[in-house]
Structure 1
Amino acid sequence: MSGYALATLLGMQARPAHAFDLSSLDVFGLFTKKDEPPAASAAALPYRLEFDLGQADDAKALTRTLQDASLLYRLRQDAPPDGETLARRMAVDLNPLVDALWSQGYFNAEVAIVVDGATLKVGAEPDASLIRALEAHRNRDAVPIAVRVAPGPVFGLRNVAVSERGITGAPAIANPEKVTRLKPGDPATASALRAAQAALVDNLRAQSRPLAKVVELRPVVDHAARIMDVTYVVEPGPVAGFGDISIGDTADIPPAVVRSFIYLEPGDPYSPKALTDTRKSIATIPAIASVRIREDDKLDAAGNLPIFVEVTERPKRLIGFSARYSTIDGPAVKTYWEHRNLFGGAERLRLEGDIFLAPRIDGTKIKDIGDFERSDLGGRFSFSFLKPALGGSRYDWLLDGVATRQRVGTNRYGGYTARYGNVTTAIQRRFSDTFSISAGLEVEKGQTSDVLGQVDYTLVGVPLSVKYDSTDSLLDATRGFRASASVTPYPTFLGSTVGLVQSKAAFSAYYALDEDARYVLAGRVGLGSISGADLDEVPSTRRFYAGGGGSVRGYAYRTLSPLGPLGRLTGGRSLFEGSVEARIKVTDTIGLVPFFDAGTAFEGSLPDFKQRLQMAAGLGLRYYTAIGPIRVDVAAPLNPRKGDKPVALYVSIGQAF
């Protein structure tokens, strides 16, 4: 194989994605005009280009590959002035066309460019007969240029070997076939060889060898046997740890804040995953837009690799608007304002205002605009403040407040109305990028009303919580699990009008069935309990209810609970929710998600599984975007109660859990 072809196989870069090109379509003749050559003239030689691959397999995809490599194709709207210039353009096209065919494994391919019987092949120079054939079309018509290709068979791989330099003893890569994922008989394409090269480097870097590289690719093509043998020559490099971690320009963000979100320590074993986790950890700081982690190209005197961290700041102020809709829960709109570096210490202040339709729970309905009343609107105003990295430490201060007027339930089963205000402050301690605990103080004052009566209350509590999250994505997890638990006592000696203890726990797990995470199993369990007070003493907003888009889909929001007098909802003192999903990517952007949900609230302080769980099943559609999947779920109750709708539709961003 020639050195030029070797460079093609080893160095060919992936081409950028192409925009949807209407000029390449011929739908009822609507879009052919853009692909027409310029008009014939005395001053130029426009041409019409055709790719003829005969009966080749996958001719359409191969034609596109050749078009991407062809200078003639890219300059087809730029007519050359004379036959000699056009002939030279044709000659220059031949080697890239051959390289493109070789990159797809067609090593016996034959290519010729033909004009009116005059043929130009690889290695030949344009002659006078070709130039005359081109000039014969001057001021008459477009020159008919045909690229005739006989691809031949796709060559397969026979032997794939890895040669290691500088290694004594056991090889760093014990099973090359498993790492490269190349096996005898696979097509010998450039993309497969590049992917194997990247896999070798990734495997070595995962062994704490940060300087690993492939220094040479030695392909040997047997044209007669139509096979290729390939040897990768790698330099694994030494095993190393992390060295000093330097933080570059951070704009208006204090470097100490950035450093507090870095959990690497000098001397820790080098790990690409640790760098990825560090990038994600730093990116959780609301003021930061992007994180770049750069590795030094050499080890320090201690044999460790220095790391350089650079960040860019997000715009300090944000204002936005969003809307959501569910066929059961109705419409809602929200506006918000946020400042991401309020006092120069990466503090975030966010203000939100929501207006939503408060469902009627008294048996009446809104039949037309004249039936609408002011009480049919619910509202919520909230603020949240975050001061990260207090004094450069791994402690954060959180302050949240909310004022709400809402009505929750349905006409069939009733519900509750509530007006309350809540302020919570807490200190959070981050132990790692996955694990944190928090403790704080909460004060809430409000009034709730339902079938059990009215409760005017004050709650003063001490919320304690713990969180663990090892998943690979917040909005679209494919691996790992999340666990959270909280307990909040509201003792009367702190000023609570009713003494109670509220506990919650949630666990979700994600398992990818394949390496590319196109098939993912996901499951979730949620539990809750209230002890220390009777049901009618607990404010309705503190009782447990299931149902809705983030709970048991197919049932109205917060309508699954015990029933009291007149068959109306009372809420419960305990909760169980569970969901399972199979997330299946049909394409890179479209996915299907069959799911099953079950759950309800219980009257006692602990779930009583002798009581019937409400169940639902459905099918979701996902459209994957750069910011997360757009979710559309259709759910149907499997054991509906009288008055439950047969199906419900949910639309949002992000997976259900």
Structure 2
Amino acid sequence: MLGFPLQTVRAWHCALRRLLLALTLTLMTSGALAATPSLQLSGVDGEPRDNILAHVAIGNEPCELASWRERAMQRNARRNADTALRALGYYSPTLTTRLQRTDNCWTLDMQVTTGPRVTVSEVQMTVTGPAESDPAFREVLANPALKAGDPLRHDRYEQMRNTLSRLAADRGYFDSQMVAHRLEVDVPRQQARIVLHLDSGPRYRFGEVTLEQDVLHPELAQRFIPFVPGDPYDSRQLINLQQSLNSSGYYGNVRISTEPDAQSRRVSVAATTTARAKHGYMAGIGFSTDIGPRLRLGYENRRVNRRGHRYSFEMEASPVRSGAGFNYEIPIEPNREKVTFSAGYRDEETDTSDSERYRLGVAHQLELKSNWIATTSLEFEREYFTVADVRDRTDLLMPGFELARTRGDHPVYPQHGWHLSGKVRFAEQALASSVTFVQFRGRAKLIFPLLGGRIISRADAGVTEADELVELPSSVRFFAGGDASVRGYAYESLGPTNDDGDVVGGRHLLTGSVEYDHLFLPSWSAAIFIDGGNAFDTLDTFEAVYGYGVGIRWRSPIGPIRLDVARPSDQRDEFRIHVSMGPDL
């Protein structure tokens, strides 16, 4: 047992009392410093309440409020609340305030009666001058933000006014004037009349266009410009020009400047660019349960010559799939039309088949005016494959044609978006091929918001016309199952089987999925899903299987990463974990 002198115990006791007193004073002081006035509203909710809280600011008032300041503060609070309600169309509110003092500070109680809401009785929104026949203005005039019978909102009125002014600037009516802009409110009748009149003045046209660059031949670089001198001015064309130059891969920095001339009513345009680095290198790692960990290495020469030619080489290695590819690209119309020569090698080993492919190809790609991408191709493939212990070799010369389009409102996490593609290819024994077949493959994906989250649906279909399935190489047959097919089943583990029960693939394919995901943190979402479908030879033998489960998604710095737990409908496994990466569209 330890003992201490009496003087030491008394000293510790005094020190402890001082410490407790200091802590108490500190807490009291910090509490007083943290106290601020508050506003309590009654008789109002929803948007009017929110707008009052946004306009009435009393947090900066001192807790020790003098009587003369108290009266002025209440008048300001009522005036600001009245302004907040008028902005939403409530021009006859009743506002009463009372200050309630508390131990630490005070509270302002405000009783609100909004009264009737002003409605719009008439909208006179007119445009005179050349813009009167402009389709863009006609669309705005046909769909105003406020119409007769709508509740009055000041922000919608300002939106209508700003829309006219902004559209005039975007469409080249630089001398336009807002002749009239009035919001007339008849408070006794609770009606409002809107008068907006824009005199557009003449429309300017594009003048001289200069493109400063030293990467491509001038005649090729000029094809990036989507307009010619004399075309009506449209700011969207400047945006298209900048986006085309930025996305071309040739330029690292792009700046667009304009100079309107009032005398000639022309707008000169100057585009200044800096060259992107000629050589590019790529190294990446990834993982999915379909192919396991993956390593990718690549090199790109972005400027072989001033005609815009470029080439790239890429290698990948994973436990399931490895290979290498080479592409040489020749632009015809920058960003719209090109010809690509390619060569590649791929070795793939799945639970159902082994395949070793050598490929040569040429493709012509064209972006149509409708924004669809049309690709016409010719490929030669030599494939050594093994399916169900049967090994064979095929040579295929395959002409093909594909149409594809993708639309989305965000590159990483779209709320609205879709993808649609369809490709047909064929081979003929009389044309340097081992087998004859015709095949179509179609894919569709649709994303739309629902209940604060998103619905992500997809469908995948394939049809093959061929005499004998056994003659088709494994790369032409259809299999189902895996991260992007039917979850709950292993990669390419579904399809018709032989007499020994080995999966041999099918002529046709039909799979689909419906998924709902919902953000619960800024970069994290939870998902539930059901997948279904199968590969098959005839409709009579089609037997759909299903996988259903839950998942977690993370919007990582390198792109979306998905972790799913799925249960197969035939209960061949208790559950299966799927990990995948990549964009939603």
TM-score by length of 2: 0.67
The letter of the residue matching 1:220 is E
> Does residue 506 of structure 2 align to residue 561 of structure 1?
no
Counterpart amino acid of 1:527? G
The one-letter code sitting in structure 2 at the alignment partner of 1:408 is T
- Structure 1's 47 and 509: CA in aligned 2 closer, same or farther, altered over 3 A? closer
| Matched-pair contact (CA < 8 Å) for 2:181–2:197 | yes
- Give percent identity, aligned residues only: 15
Aligned pair partner of 1:465 in 401, 406, 413: 401
| Equivalent residue for 2:510, pick from 577, 581, 587 | 577
The separation in 1 between residues aligned to 2:520 and 2:145, in whole angstroms, is: 22
CA positional deviation for 1:224 = 4.5
Deviations 1:177-204 (A, max 9, x none): 9612434565533443344446667888
C-alpha change, 1:249 and 1:99, in structure 2 (3 Å) is: farther
1:65-144 equivalence runs, <5 A: 65-66=54-55, 70=57, 73=59, 102-105=86-89, 107=91, 144=105
Letter in 1 for 2:425: V
| CA pair 526-101 structure 1, distance change in 2 beyond 3 A | same
Instruction: Give the whole-Å Cα distance in 2 for the aligned partners of 1:388 and 1:216.
Output: 55
SS in 2 for 1:565: coil
How far off is 1:449 after superposition? 1.7
CA contact (8 A) 1:480 1:510 kept: yes
Q: Which amino acid is the alignment partner of residue 577 of structure 1?
A: L
Of residues 502, 507, 527, the one that matches 2:462 is 527
Q: Report how far residue 106 of structure 1 moved.
A: 5.2
Once the two structures are TM-superposed, the CA of residue 484 in structure 1 deviates from its matched residue by 3.3
Q: Distance in 2 between matches of 1:262 and 1:248?
A: 9
Aligned pairs for 1:240-259 within 5 A: 243=206, 246=209, 248-249=211-212, 259=222
Equivalent residue runs for 1:492-503 within 5 Å: 498-501=434-437, 503=439
Any idea what SS the aligned residue of 1:566 has? coil
Kept in 2, the 8 Å contact 1:257–1:346? The answer is no
What SS does the corresponding residue of 2:540 show, helix, strand or coil?
coil
Say whether residues 1:417 and 2:354 are aligned partners: yes
Is the Cα–Cα contact under 8 Å of residues 339 and 365 in structure 2 kept in the other structure?
A: yes
Match of residue 184 from structure 2 = 220
Q: Of 322, 331, 335, which residue of structure 2 is paired with 1:389?
A: 331
What are the within-5 Å matches in structure 2 for residues 140-219 of structure 1? 144=105, 152-153=113-114, 155-167=117-129, 179-183=143-147, 186-197=150-161, 217-219=181-183
SS where residue 542 of structure 1 aligns? coil
Change (3 A) 1:508 1:378: closer
What is the aligned partner in structure 2 of residue 361 from structure 1? none
2:392 to 455, 461, 481: 455
Assess if the C-alpha contact under 8 Å between 2:207 and 2:269 holds in 1. Answer: yes
Alpha-carbon distance in 1 for matches of 2:402, 2:94: 66
Q: 1:488 to 1:178 in 2, by over 3 A?
A: same
Aligned alpha-carbon RMSD (Å): 5.8
Residues 543-552 or 274-283, more deviating? 274-283
Deviations 1:138-170 (A, max 9, x none): xxx98x476665554274432251332425998
Give the letter aligned to residue 544 of structure 1: F
1:527 touches 1:576 (CA, 8 Å); kept in 2? Answer: yes
**Residue 478 of structure 2: aligned partner:** 544
User: For the structure 1 residues 47 and 551, does the alpha-carbon distance in structure 2 shift closer, same or farther, using more than 3 Å as the test?
Assistant: closer
Give the superposition deviation at 1:436: 4.5
Provide the residue aligned with 1:643 in structure 2: 572
Deviation, structure 1 residue 332: 3.2
Q: SS at 2:143's partner residue? A: helix
Given that 2:43 and 2:112 are in contact with CA atoms closer than 8 Å, whether structure 1 keeps it comes out as no
Deviation at 1:569, TM superposition (A): 1.0
CA shift, 1:570, in A, is 0.9
| Pair 1:393–1:545, CA change in 2 (3 A) | closer
- SS state of the match for residue 192, structure 1? helix
Partner of 1:506: 442
Distance 1:297 1:348 in 2: 41
Match of 1:485 among 403, 406, 423: 423
| Equivalent residue number for residue 341 of structure 1 | 302
Change (3 A) 1:259 1:581: farther
> AA paired with 2:37?
L
Distance change >3 Å, CA 584–CA 382, structure 1 → 2: same
Shift of residue 219, structure 1, vs aligned partner:
1.7
2:508 counterpart SS class: strand
Separation in 1, partners of 2:276, 2:112: 51
Unaligned runs of 5+ in 1: 1-32, 41-45, 118-140, 356-376, 410-414
Deviations 1:528-549 (A, max 9, x none): 4264x74333322332223333
Contact 1:471 1:482 (C-alpha < 8 Å) held by counterparts? no
3-state SS of paired residue (2:500): helix
After superposition, what is the alpha-carbon deviation per residue over 1:391-425, rounded to whole angstroms, capped at 9, x for unaligned? 8695424344544433223xxxxx11233444444
Distance 2:576 2:403 in 1: 34
CA gap of 1:168–1:427, structure 2 versus 1, over 3 A, is closer
Between the two proteins, the alignment pairs up a number of residues equal to 544
> Whole-Å Cα distance in 2 between the matches of residues 217 and 578 of structure 1?
57
Could you tell me which amino acid in structure 2 is paired with residue 426 of structure 1? A
SS state at 1:536 partner: helix
- Secondary structure of the corresponding residue to residue 193 of structure 1: helix
Larger Rg: 2
- Cα distance, 1:276 vs structure 2: 7.0
2:198 is paired with a residue of what secondary structure?
strand
- Contact 2:299/2:314 (8 A) holds in 1: yes
**What residue number does 2:583 align with?**
654
Alignment of 1:430-449 (within 5 A): 430-432=367-369, 434-439=371-376, 442-449=379-386
1:351 corresponds to which of 285, 290, 314: 314
Cα distance between partner residues in 2 of 1:443 and 1:642: 41
Distance between the aligned counterparts of 2:229 and 2:461, measured in 1? 39
Secondary structure of 1:541's partner?
coil
Q: Which residue of 2 aligns with 1:406?
A: 348
Q: Distance in 2 between matches of 1:201 and 1:560?
A: 60
Q: How far 1:566 sits from its partner (Å)?
A: 0.8
Aligned twin of 1:612: 542
Q: 1:406 to 1:37 in 2, by over 3 A?
A: same
State the match for 1:56 in structure 2. Answer: 44
- Find the aligned partners of 1:577 and 1:213 in 2 and give their Cα distance: 60
Cα contact 2:323–2:347 (8 A) shared by 1:
no
Tell me which residue corresponds to 2:11: none
Whole-angstrom CA distance in 1 between matches of 2:172 and 2:488:
51
Q: Which residue of 1 aligns with 2:194?
A: 230
Return the offset for 1:296. Answer: 7.0
Q: CA deviation at 1:222?
A: 3.9
* Structure 2 equivalent of residue 428 of structure 1: 365
In the superposition, relative to structure 1, how do residues 250 and 537 fare at CA in structure 2: closer, same or farther (>3 Å)? Answer: same
Counterpart amino acid of residue 540 in structure 1: S
For 1:477 and 1:650, how far apart are their aligned partners in 2? 22
